Amino acid sequence: MQKNIVVSLILFFLTCGIYGVFWKVSLVDEINAIDPQEDDLGGWMVVLLTLLTCGIYGLFWEYKAAKPLAKVNGGSDNGVLFIVLSIFSFGLVNFCIMQNDLNCYYANR
- The torsion angle over the Cα atoms of residues 94, 28, 30 and 67, rounded to 10 degrees, is 60
Q: What is the pLDDT of residues 18-44, one digit of tens each?
A: 999 999 999 999 999 988 887 789 999
List the chain domain ranges: 5-108
Residue pair 32/42 in contact by the 8 Å Cβ criterion: yes
Quote the CA–CA distance of 86 and 41 in Å, as a whole number.
20
Is the distance from CB of 61 to CB of 28 less than 8 angstroms? yes
For 44-78, write each residue's pLDDT tens digit. Answer: 999 999 999 999 999 999 999 999 999 888 878 99
Q: Which helix (H) or strand (E) holds 22?
A: helix 18-34
Average pLDDT rounded to a whole number, residues 74-96: 93
DSSP designation for 35: S
Backbone angles phi, psi at 43, to 5 degrees: -60, -45
